[in-house]
Amino acid sequence: MRVLGIETSCDETGVAIYDSSLTGGQGLLADALYSQIAMHTDYGGVVPELASRDHTRKLLPLIEQVLADAGLERHDLDGIAYTAGPGLVGALMVGASTAHGMARGLGIPVLGVHHMEGHLLAPMLEDDAPDFPFVALLVSGGHTQLVNVQGLGHYQLLGESVDDAAGEAFDKAAKMLGLAYPGGPHVAALAEQGNPERFRFPRPMTDRPGLDFSFSGLKTHTLTAIRQLEMADKLDDQARADVARAFEEAVVDTLVIKCRRALDQTGLKRLVVAGGVSANHRLRERLAQACEKRQAKAYYPRGRFCTDNGAMIAYVGAQRLVAGEQDASGIMQATPRWPLADLAAPTTP
């Protein structure tokens, strides 16, 4: 089954084709991504209306590009999957309407899939894919969650952020430090020049039981530290790097502590880490150390699949379409808020 995947939940237009044929499917055939980062940088964050308009301009050309890269025509497709949520409603509608229009014209099934399920299963696109069950850390600009994954659609939420997501905290810290959007890579790069001994920021909610996260207090602590340096006329380049290092260390330590707890609590030996923040090198180093001590193993998607992409949507859509799921005729899905726990396993094996 050759499935076209469409991702338009926020500020990246992603398209891919995945072949999941039971008689020797070839896996990922082609993928392409257009990022709107340059457009949104001037505003310091995503402007929803601009995002929707840009998806409208870029989506169809990307679909044609991916079909050409895969050596296929539209009539060679067997199904279409698109991101139905969570995300920006206008951006979601661009992908949903395009997917349904194409599927109606081709007479093939179409299915709206969960954006975070795409991230959760993105490591399945790799040669060294994890087996079920595993613990998943979903860590991005919009979500920070720990999930017990027993199989496709069998998800138990173990903990999540009660306020800012980790990626959102990185973006806000970057803005405080005068860095460009998106903040994560810029904070990480500046932190490389920082002195890890100068400041120690709090590790939120690690001094109590549980697997929930909170990053709003850390954000406030960072702002306070910057203002104190400004008042003392000591906010030079080195001080900014030291603050970035202290902030990154606090976020990474918090995530690692919670992952250790989740592995210990579940007794599982596989940890999947996905979402934009999963590309952070310091986080990967610390998680590798934590897993080694527990005879566990961490799995990640390749770099370009850490952020939003069409390949993860094509993969999830293929698994669920093969199992017989599809949208009701003519009914598009666009669900800005959609808890991962609301997903169900396919009813057909």
**Residue pair 346/325 in contact by the 8 Å Cβ criterion:** yes
Residue 38, pLDDT score: 86
pLDDT in tens, 228-253: 999 999 999 999 999 999 999 999 99
Q: Estimate to the nearest angstrom the gap between the alpha carbon of 300 and the chain centroid.
A: 11
**Residue pair 33/14 in contact by the 8 Å Cβ criterion:** yes
Give the helix ranges, DSSP H, for the chain.
37-41, 48-70, 89-106, 115-121, 166-176, 183-191, 216-231, 237-266, 281-293, 310-322
Helix (H, G, I), strand (E, B), or coil: what is residue 271?
Answer: strand
Three-state helix/strand/coil letters over 195-217: CCCCCCCCCCCCCCCCCCECCHH
- Hey, what are 313's tokens? 């949507």
Dihedral sign from CA coordinates of 320, 322, 328, 330: positive
Q: Which of 174, 114, 111 is nearest to 145 (CA)?
A: 114
Residue 43, pLDDT score: 86
Which range is least confidently modeled, 30-34, 42-46, 200-204, 272-276? 42-46
- Mean pLDDT (the chain, rounded): 95
Residue 41, pLDDT score: 84
Looking at the chain, the number of H-run helices and the number of E-run strands are: 10, 10
Average pLDDT for 155-184 = 94
* pLDDT exceeds cutoff 70 at 348: no
pLDDT-derived band at 330 (thresholds 50, 70, 90) equals confident
* pLDDT exceeds cutoff 90 at 181: no
Average pLDDT for 172-183 = 93
End-to-end Cα separation, the chain, in angstroms:
15
Measure the CA–CA gap between 243 and 319, rounded to whole angstroms. Answer: 44
pLDDT in tens, 288-325: 999 999 999 999 999 999 999 999 999 999 999 999 99
pLDDT-derived band at 347 (thresholds 50, 70, 90) equals confident
Average pLDDT for 72-92 = 97
Helix (H) or strand (E) holding 277: none
**Residue pair 303/126 in contact by the 8 Å Cβ criterion:** no
pLDDT in tens, 14-68: 999 999 865 556 899 999 999 998 888 888 889 999 999 999 999 999 999 999 9
Three-state helix/strand/coil letters over 119-146: HHHHHHHCCCCCCCCEEEEEECCCCEEE
Burial (CB < 10 A; 0-12, 13-18, 19+), residue 288, is: middle
CA angle 323, 66, 47 (to 5 degrees): 90
Measure the CA–CA gap between 327 and 247, rounded to whole angstroms. Answer: 43
pLDDT-derived band at 165 (thresholds 50, 70, 90) equals very high
